[in-house]
Each structure stands twice: as structure tokens, then as C-alpha cells.
Amino acid sequence: MQRLPPETLMYIFVHTRPTLTHFDWVRNIMVVCRRWKSILVRTPQFWADLIGDSSWDLYGFTSERPSAEIWPRFTFAVSHSGTLPLYLYLTCVDAQAVDFLIPHRCRIATLAVSQKSPSVSLARFISAPFPILGRLSLASVHVGMQRPDFIDQVPYARIDPALLPGLCSLELPGRHFAQVGPFRSLRHLTLMECRWLDWCSCSNQSSTLSGILDALEQCQQLETLALRGLPDTDTDDSDLRAVGRVVRLAGLRDLHIEDTPRSVVAFFDHLVIPATTSLYLTVDPGDGTFMDLLTQNVKTIMLAACGAELVRFRGVPWSCTVEIHGAHGQVLRITERRLLVEGYGRQLLQVANLFSHVPRVEVQLYGNTADDTVLRRAWFRFKHLRSFEMIGCDARLHLLPFMASPEGREALRTLEHLCITWDCKYDERFFPNLRKGQMREGLDLYAVKASGEIAPLWPMRYNASACEAFCDIVAPLLASEPFSGSIQSLIVLMVSQARDEKASAAVDNIMRGRLGRLGTRLNVLWYY
């Protein structure tokens, strides 16, 4: 390596990607020889990359002060990074950090701060000019932490556009974005809830709908807007300035909102956006499903669904999502979060009723929370169902019997992709003619561990006989019309609590031999 030119050596050093916590690696390189040390010290890009990759490591997760071990390494790296831009990700900004970084503020291109309480040091730091700062993120963490030692409320950092002429991306609590001038350079804005209210002076400022509208009026060049939590949209005497008020964002491309369905719909009454804007809405249940309220605001929300070419529905135990792709490339994605598994049959039927004639529909369902009646109604309603995935629910319960029926062949004639689940716990129900010895092979065999514990051996009922019986159901369906000419890919999911490579390979071979030769792309996957 001594014969390698400096450029090649530096290429090797950079691509090892050390971090501040593994600084010994850097120190070891520097003590190999004077040449290597000279190359490292005289290569600013190495130190700039080191800072950007690991500045989070300056603090422990709950610490308010930088690590006594890592802080000297950080200052050394900054001092040797020349005039290159700095990308800083800090979990605290204290007086020591501010005093060191202020002389380097003209080099800071990204500043992301996430700390458990506001501080005078942070406010002092943000009030300095940052001529090349392109991204600024201020977030609160440690919501459950106790009130800090100080009693008086701390002034929060005010954002002055005059000090940030190149700012393109801003993320901060919505209450901290008040009484500012126009942000002509701002393209991406994220406003979230302030979790410092107990000890932050911003609690003296009411978080109102008119305050949000004031902020948006200052950002006419926005391309991306994210609102994580909206103020109360039921206008009362304290917020008369919001009555009938509308903000136009002519250049908006992406809009992200998180709140309740009713608040989201009411907020759209105060917003005018282009028809090509993509909407990403995350709602919490409480005042009906979002689909209940979707059609109430056709002027705004349904713009994204006009000329829909693709609809995706995904139901999982903790959320339900519908994604609509419009003719102009715009996307409408609605995610409904749920704490309890209550089923998503109602939402699936609502989507089927609203978008039954969309040229391409893809559905992905998890578990048994959609019953047979709901599934059949949805299958009949969708006229162009192209992809259907049923994960965690044995295909023999609902899907395969419907596919075998005359009405099922007609309803699912457009299927191109199919994902089915084979859960061995249902084998005795569907394969009663197999000999008990074959069915229970592996189930009644036990191994005695070194501890004396008796444990059942894998594969629990996944064996050659059961696999052949499962293929006897699936293969004739795939080979029959209309599925032989429409289904192009098939995924078979195998449910297991353990994995035996030899046994699973045997099952895989049978599957591929029976189903893979039908001209369909086949994947056999095991999940636990």
C-alpha cells in the first residue's frame, strides 16, 4: 500500500466509513507512518464525511452534554475539514457546542437538533446568520421526561428569514413559526406539535388555525408541506381571523397531514392547491372512517382521485391504507391508524364502491379480519382486480373455494398476480383422507434437549403428503380458464414457527415441480 498514490489511499480510507465512536481506527491509520497521517490531515473531505456520518454520537440518548470522549474528536474533525460544508445532527445544543460552532456557522449546510427541552443556547445559536444553511430541523424528544431544573420558561428559537437566505427545508414545532417575514427560498416545510409546552415560552402563544394560515401565507414557493397535528378547526370567537379565509399554494406538489378525519376535511376548506398535488393523509379513528368523509370535499380531496388509473388497498391489524394514482401522476394515500384489530371490511367495501371501475386494482389483506361475505362482495364489485394478496389467512378458507366457483371465475378473470397462504394447522380439516400417520408426521416426534426439556420437532405437518394434497387443490385452478391465461405470478406463503432446511427444501421442490411448470412465476416463502 505504500506504493499507492495519495488519491487511491484516500479512496480506501473514505470507503471504510469510520465514525466518531470508532475513532481508534482513524488513530491507528495516522500512527502507521508520517505519509498516511499527512494524507489524512490534508484531506478535508474525509473529516467532513466523518462528521456527517456520526455527529449523532456526540451525546447519549438522554444526555444534555456532549461526551467527554467524543467531543475532542468532533472538534478535531471540524477543524481539519477545511472549508467544506458541515452536515450536523445533534441531540443537544449547549453553551459549549454553540461557542465552538458559531465561528463555523458559515459552513453549516444542514442543522438537525433533537433535544428534550428548549435552551437559551439553542435560541442564541439559531439567531446567528447561516448564509449556506439549506436544511434546519428542530424537534423535541423525551416526551415523558420530568420538568428541567429551571422554573422560568425559556424563549424558543425564532426563525428569521433574513438570517437564512438559502433555507430550502424547515422542520419545527408549529408554535415556533409565528410572526416571520416571507420565506422566498423555502420549498419544504414540516410543522409539528410542540412537546416542550410546560417549560417553553411558546405556550404563551395560542396554536390556532389562523396561526397556521399566517405561516403558510409566508411560504408561497412551497413544494412539500407536512402538518403533523392540526389546531382545532371549529372556529370560535377567539379565532375569527380564520373564518372564510383561504390560502393558495400554487406550486405545491406533496401535502402530508396527520390528524382526525374531521379535522383534515375541515382544513381543506381553507386551502387551494393544484389538481396535480399528491395527498398523503394519516388519520386516527374517532369520528368515522376517513372513507365516510372522503366524498364530502370533492373539490379538494377527490381531485387526486379524478381519472384514477390505479387503486391499492392494504389492510393490516394496525392500519388500513388506500392509495389512488391519478391520471396526472398525482397520488392520494389515506392511512387510517388503529390501536385495536376491529376488521377493515367496511373500508374495503367503501373503496370497492367508490373505485369499482378503475382500470387496475391491487388488494393486500393480512389475517382473518375480513369475513367471507365482505370478501365476496368486494371481489364481485371490483371490475379490474389485477393483484390480490391474502397473507396470514389460509387460502382454503375463502379464496380458493371462490376461485373454483363459476361466479368466482368470472369475478376474478382479470387477476395477474396472486399471493396465497398455506397454514398447516388447517390440514386435518381440508385433508381428512390422508392417513393419520402421514398427517401427524413430525407432530408426535419429540426431541429431548440438554436441559431435559421436551420439544416437538419441525416441520409440524408440512410433509410430502400434505404438500401434494395442497397442490392437488391449487394446480387444477391455475391450469383452468380464465386463470391459466391471466395469472402471471404466484406467491405461496408457508406459516411455520421453526425452520428445518432439509424438510423445507423438500416441500419447495414439490411446490415448484407441481406449480412452477404451469407457466406462472412462482415464489415459495416461509414466514414466522
In the block, cell 389460509 appears at: 394
The mean pLDDT of 247-258, rounded to a whole number, is 92
Does residue 260 have a pLDDT over 70?
yes
Between CA 46 and CA 80 the distance in angstroms is 9
Query: What pLDDT was estimated at residue 15?
Result: 65
Query: What pLDDT was estimated at residue 103?
Result: 92
Grid cell for residue 233: 378547526
Q: How confident is the model at residue 440 (pLDDT cuts 50, 70, 90)?
A: very low
Q: Are 442 and 504 in contact (CB under 8 A)?
A: no
pTM of the model: 0.78
Does residue 237 have a pLDDT over 70?
no
Residue of 75 and 64 predicted with greater confidence: 75
Neighbours of 365 (CB within 10 A): 27
The mean pLDDT of 482-510, rounded to a whole number, is 82
Q: How confident is the model at residue 445 (pLDDT cuts 50, 70, 90)?
A: very low
Weakest mean pLDDT among 261-275, 424-438, 439-453, 491-505: 439-453
Buried b (16+ CB within 10 A) or exposed e, 418-437: bbbbbbbebbeeebeebeee
Compute CA distances 18 → 5, 47, 52, 182, 194, whole Å.
21, 10, 11, 41, 35
pLDDT in tens, 395-418: 999 999 999 999 999 999 999 999
Query: What pLDDT was estimated at residue 312?
Result: 94
The mean pLDDT of 357-377, rounded to a whole number, is 87
Residue of 501 and 486 predicted with greater confidence: 486
* CA torsion through residues 117, 123, 128, 132, sign: positive
- List the end-to-end C-alpha distance of the chain, in Å, as a whole number: 47
Q: How confident is the model at residue 456 (pLDDT cuts 50, 70, 90)?
A: very low
Does residue 305 have a pLDDT over 80?
no
Query: What pLDDT was estimated at residue 399?
Result: 93
Query: What pLDDT was estimated at residue 500?
Result: 62
In the block, cell 490534508 appears at: 42
Query: What pLDDT was estimated at residue 359?
Result: 92
Query: What pLDDT was estimated at residue 383?
Result: 92
Query: What pLDDT was estimated at residue 155?
Result: 65
Does residue 240 have a pLDDT over 90?
no
CATH topology assigned to domain 422-527: Trna Endonuclease; Chain: A, domain 1 (3.40.1350)
Question: Mean pLDDT over all residues of the chain?
Answer: 77
Q: What angle do CA 380, 386, 392 make, to 5 degrees?
A: 80
Query: What pLDDT was estimated at residue 197?
Result: 60
The mean pLDDT of 85-91, rounded to a whole number, is 83
Neighbours of 59 (CB within 10 A): 22
Name the 3-class secondary structure at 278.
strand
Q: How confident is the model at residue 515 (pLDDT cuts 50, 70, 90)?
A: confident
Query: What pLDDT was estimated at residue 154?
Result: 65
Instruction: Name 247's bridge partners.
Output: 271
- Rounded to 5 degrees, φ, ψ at 236 are -125, -170
Grid cell for residue 170: 424547515
CA atoms within 13 A on the CB side of 139: 16
pLDDT in tens, 168-212: 999 987 777 765 678 889 999 998 876 666 656 665 454 678 878
Query: What pLDDT was estimated at residue 293?
Result: 61
**What helix, strand, coil percent values describe the chain, rounded to 5?**
40, 20, 40
The mean pLDDT of 343-359, rounded to a whole number, is 85
CA atoms within 13 A on the CB side of 312: 12
What would the DSSP string read from start to end of 128-195?
A: S--TT--EEEEEE--TTPPP-S--SPBPPPPP-GGG-TT--EEEEEGGGS-S----SS--EEEEE--S
Which range of 58-72, 109-123, 216-230 scores highest in mean pLDDT? It is 216-230
DSSP label at 434?
S
Q: Are 386 and 417 in contact (CB under 8 A)?
A: yes
Name the 3-class secondary structure at 218.
coil
Between CA 271 and CA 213 the distance in angstroms is 9
Name the 3-class secondary structure at 409.
helix
Residue of 178 and 73 predicted with greater confidence: 73
Name the 3-class secondary structure at 525.
strand
Query: What pLDDT was estimated at residue 294?
Result: 62
Q: Where are the domains of the chain?
A: 1-84, 422-527
Q: How confident is the model at residue 143 (pLDDT cuts 50, 70, 90)?
A: very low
Question: How far out from the chain centre does Cα 429 lie?
Answer: 39
The mean pLDDT of 430-449, rounded to a whole number, is 50
